[in-house]
Amino acid sequence: MANAIVINPFEVPKGQEEEALAVWDRFAAYFKEQPGYVSAKLHRSIDPNARFHLVTVAEWASADHFAAALQNTELQLIAREAKHDFPNFPGLYEVIRDG
């Protein structure tokens, strides 16, 4: 089976990009250390009116690896310590065509 892709768009209020990036960096450091993590890239919209200012596209060895990383108590602690909450909408995807 192919790797699982996590696409996670974030709503970031104007003027709060630096805070959002700091939160993203903390989560990214955690995920990089988890079994099954392959890679992640953070994208920034070039449209100033986009609903989702930041979008993460991450690759995991499997959906089960990603699910296990979400259940770790260390992640819950990081989430509690984050000073800002940026609404995000993660979803798991699979590649069905490559162009």
Query: Tens digits of per-residue pLDDT, 22-64?
Result: 999 999 999 999 999 999 999 999 999 999 999 999 999 999 9
98 within domain boundaries: no
Amino acid at position 60, single letter: W
Record the pTM.
Answer: 0.90
Kindly provide the residue ranges of all beta strands, DSSP E only, lying in 1-99, ordered along the sequence.
4-10, 37-44, 54-60, 91-93
- Residue 18 domain-assigned (yes or no): yes
What is the chain's mean pLDDT, rounded? 94
- Structural domain includes residue 99: no
Query: Is 42 within the bounds of a domain?
Result: yes
Q: Which domain holds residue 84?
A: 4-93
Per-residue pLDDT tens digits for 62-75: 999 999 999 999 99
CA dist., res. 68 & res. 35, Å (int): 9
Which residue has 């995991």 as its token pair?
60
Split into its structural domains, the chain has a count of 1
Rounded to an integer, the average pLDDT of 2-8 is 94
CATH number at residue 56: 3.30.70.100
